[in-house]
Chain A
Amino acid sequence: MQFLSLLSLFFVSFTYAADGVSLRNDREGESVYALKSVTRSITTLLKTVSAAEIKAALKAGMKDTPEAKLCSFDLNTKIQKALPASADYKAVVHYLRSQNEIDDSIARILIRAHEAHTMKFPEQEENHAYWLPKDEAKVTDMSLALESFEKKFLAVSCFDEAYKSLHNEFMKVDKKVKDHHIEAIFHKALVENKISQKLFERLERARLSEVQKWTLSLKDYVKKIRSLRNQYPLRDVNEKSKFVTEEVKKINLSRRQKLLENYSDLQIVVMANVIKKLRTRLDSDRMEILVYAPEDGTTEVIPLNPMDRFCFCVVKLRDEMAQLRLNTYFNGRSPDYVDLVTAAFEIGLIPASELDTVGNMEEIWNPKKTFWDKAKVWITTIGSVASIVVPPPYGFIPALAMVVIQATSTDTDPAASDPTRLFKCKN
């Protein structure tokens, strides 16, 4: 039996490898980058380059590239080579995304690498030696790490990964290494002819683009998706959702981009299973509490009414979300509810048609605050002070305002104080 399982796993992975690496979008609806300006840039691009040419360029870029050698910088170079030099590369990537040849995560990876590769240098300072670390030994160690960059790191990995490895080396030498220290080390190596002008420029651009902070490389992405699809083959490969491409406020990433950037495949599976259990519970028509009597071994069965069942699902979900934070796989990271729902869709545990409904359930325990809700807090605070400060006979005005606010505020969970409810959705 074990042999059979092993064989089938091997077969699955072999089949996947035989198909070659695919970057095709299989989950996302309308792109997070689907803006008017992007549409205009695509329209302009298609006046000079045909759609077939762009698709062929991607195909050429991917051709004969094994998963282990997938690099965003290299892929960009290959695609650009296959297209006229005048082609706007960002528009090329956006076009590929609009045609579902790639998804938003890959689009971000490619555009980020492109920007890092083509960025303009700011004006250079002359006195770089001044910014070197004061400790000579540290300067020497860092310089040595830099000198071995090409052989030790770049020869065996992609440029972004190699730069991250170099940065790690710097951190090992000095935990408090600053950006200006690294800049000075690069300049020192250039002046001393330890690195070429070309490599210096690449490294400087990587430093200015903060490549060390990039959490998801092209290779990581492909590996992650491949692992997830092997474990949870999609029932419908054409099923796409707009829910996962909604932008997450403040971080300028879509929900799916955030998921893939921040969580490993194992974490995604664990998160998704929380939602799978929630869905099963929500769909259940029967829930009971069993009470075992220790003395005579009898049991009391307490059936839950529909609203108690519903709120039990919410309470249990919140419990399981809290438990995730304690899970060793998560290292104290606390995924939010939308992350969980996105994870469940990513591996096909909930269909796209249910995403909005399940995703909006958060409103139950975390309702959106309207302007009026926020204003009420201020009015109540000011009113309570004013009720003492304002002399009679006008003191009744703030008191009346507070009472009216209390009376008109709609409770998001009116059952919260109802003793006849076993479970309350919002505690």
Chain B
Amino acid sequence: MQKLILATLLFSSFAHALEVEHKAVVRVESGKARIETVTLTDLVSDRAFDGEHFMVVKGKGKCSIIPPQKQDEKEKEVCVDEPVSFDADEATLLRASTTYYHLTKARDYFQNHLKSDYVKSMEKVVIRIEHQNQFSELGHFANNNLEPQFNNALTVPAGKGLASRNVTPWGLEIWFRPVKRVNLNDLQVNNLQAKEFKALLSGFRNQIHMQSLSRFLSSSVTFLTQASSGASSPFSLDSLIRTAGSSLVMEAGYIFIDPITKATSRQWYWLDTAMIPEIIYHEYAHAALSDYLVLSHSTAIIEGMADFFAGQIAKSPTLAKKIKKYNTFNGKNAKRKQDYQIEFELGEYANTDFVFGLLWEMKNILGEEKGESFMFDLRKNLNTNSSIRNGLVEGFIKTCKEECSDPFNDRIRILKALNLRGI
């Protein structure tokens, strides 16, 4: 009898809080990424990545084709979520354990550190790795023949399903796309740094042209008015070549800077989102903030908020840096000083690090501890469609009124800082 009770207890403890050791990509103290052995907690299976809060599934899961039942019917694909097995191939195993490990860490941050009731009550989240299908609000997975997706990650809202098409309801999910080498020429990138450099070069070019013109005019006037002084003629071939030469060299440099930059810079782009801790935190932050910031589309506000909490979990103002093996894009840096541009309100600029930097700066103004809870409560005064200039600033003011220990002073400090950013 005693043996039976012991066995039951052992089984139940195994069933509810299994711990397994696996290799995963983690940040070491220096900030660099390393593959190390980590302990995965809260597992409910001893054979697969199935936990109390997360289930890691490869792609759409286990799919089977159902032949048509009637004459005018087409064959159907029915997929069942099956957690990635511990016996999977090494690459899949590493992705599954990395995502599971970091998502557990992110969940712990929101539930225990920020005391989020929403996260506490959240149902098990399905994590899809190596998943190529586009998202469909009605059908969950868009049709297989639509363009497959690579090199990114997204958090998708729960859906009611579509009974007529055998689409069952689904909960909130996080999808990590497979990695793929893409030539940069095939991508449309909003490279703000390149634009800034181009503007700087343009200023230099104008300066050189003006300088050549000024020198030519001044030496012409000197020559024409004081011909007897022995000054060399600015109209001589040698002088003309010298004067025009610098302008021509500059102009050539300006025209060819783009192809030269292209030829000398990186050609290939890839991003293995399931291997980068900060991207995993970022995606989970979307889920944790989705009680107010509904996951309908990507905006500067919701991306910036997710970046901020990714930075908080990672305890770093930089995201996705020092991890070149899995990422060839520049990552994000909250410390980069950047003035507001109206373009930042547009969806195509949603992933710049402006809002991330702004929120990080506000946190520093309010103090590390207070700032963190302030930003978490800020979501209550925002929505997905909030703009930076109106919604976010108004959100700061409202939240400060409710949260700041010294509302008037903090409000002025916030507004002053925002003004310095050109908002």
* Chain A residues near B (Cβ < 8 Å): 279, 282-283, 285, 305-307, 310-311, 353-354, 356-358, 360-361, 363-364, 387-388, 391-393, 395-396, 399-400, 402-403, 406-407, 410-415, 418, 420, 425
Q: Max chain A CB contacts within 10 Å: which of B212, B396, B413, B416?
A: B416
Residue interface mask B200-221, A partner, CB < 8 A = 1: 1001100110011011001000
Interface size on B, residues (CB 8 A): 41
In residues 373-411 of chain B, which contact A (Cβ within 8 Å)? 389-390, 393-394, 396-398, 401, 406, 408-409, 411
B207 near A387: Cβ-Cβ < 8 Å: yes
Distance of B218 from chain A, by nearest CB (Å): 6
> Does A403 contact B203, Cβ atoms closer than 8 Å?
yes
Query: Which of B250, B390, B393, B408 has the most chain A CB atoms inside 10 A of its CB?
Result: B408
Does B242 sit within 8 A of A, measured CB to CB? yes
Query: Which residues of the other chain, A, contact B421 by a CB distance below 8 angstroms?
Result: 414
Cα distance A410–B423 in the bound complex, in angstroms: 15
Nearest to A387 among chain B residues (CB) is B211
Q: Are A410 and B337 in contact (CB under 8 A)?
A: yes
Inter-chain CA distance A200–B153, complex, in Å, is 93
Closest chain B CB from A47 CB (angstroms): 43
B419, A415: Cβ atoms under 8 Å?
A: yes
B135 to chain A, nearest CB (A): 34
Q: Is B20 an interface residue (CB 8 A)?
A: no
Q: How far is the CB of A200 from chain B (nearest CB, A)?
A: 57
B412 touches A400 (CB 8 A): no
A-B contact pairs, 7 of them (CB 8 A): A282-B411, A283-B408, A392-B242, A411-B422, A413-B419, A414-B340, A414-B421
Interface residue? B246 (CB, 8 A)? yes
Which residue of B208, B243, B393, B412 is within 8 Å of A282 (Cβ)? Answer: B412
Q: Choose among B218, B243, B397, B422 the residue with the greatest number of A CB atoms under 10 Å from its CB.
A: B422
**Known contacts being A283-B408, A388-B218, is A414 close to B207, with CB within 8 Å?**
no
Question: A358 CA to B416 CA in the complex, in Å?
Answer: 11
* B408 and A354 contact, CB distance less than 8 A: yes
Chain B residues with CB under 8 A of A358 = 412
Residues of A within 8 A of B211 (CB): 387-388, 395, 399
The distance in angstroms between the C-alpha atoms of A406 and B203, with both chains bound, is: 9
Question: B interface vs A, CB < 8 Å?
Answer: 200, 203-204, 207-208, 211-212, 214-215, 218, 242-243, 245-246, 250, 337, 339-340, 342, 389-390, 393-394, 396-398, 401, 406, 408-409, 411-413, 415-416, 418-423
When the two chains form their complex, are residues B419 and A420 in contact, meaning their CB atoms are under 8 A apart? Answer: no
Complex Cα gap A173–B13 (Å): 107
Q: Which residue of A lies closest to B241 (CB)?
A: A392
Query: Contacts A353-B406, A410-B337, A411-B339 known; A305 to B416 CB distance under 8 Å?
Result: no
CA distance A395 to B214 in the complex (A): 12
Q: Tell me if B207 and A403 are in contact (CB < 8 A).
A: yes
For residue B420, which residues in chain A have a CB less than 8 angstroms away from its CB?
412-414
Is the CB–CB distance between B422 and A414 below 8 Å?
yes
Contacts of A311 in B (CB 8 A): 419
Minimal beta-carbon separation of B194 from chain A (angstroms): 14
For the complex, give the distance between the alpha carbons of A399 and B250 in Å.
12
Q: Contacts A306-B397, A407-B200, A418-B342; is A392 near B245 (CB within 8 Å)?
A: yes
What are the nearest 6 A-B pairs in CB distance?
A414-B422, A414-B339, A306-B393, A399-B207, A357-B409, A387-B211
- Pairwise interchain contact A357-B408, C-beta atoms closer than 8 A: yes
Report yes or no: B214 in contact with A354, Cβ–Cβ below 8 A: no
Task: Return chain B residues, CB-CB under 8 Å to A403.
Answer: 200, 203-204, 207
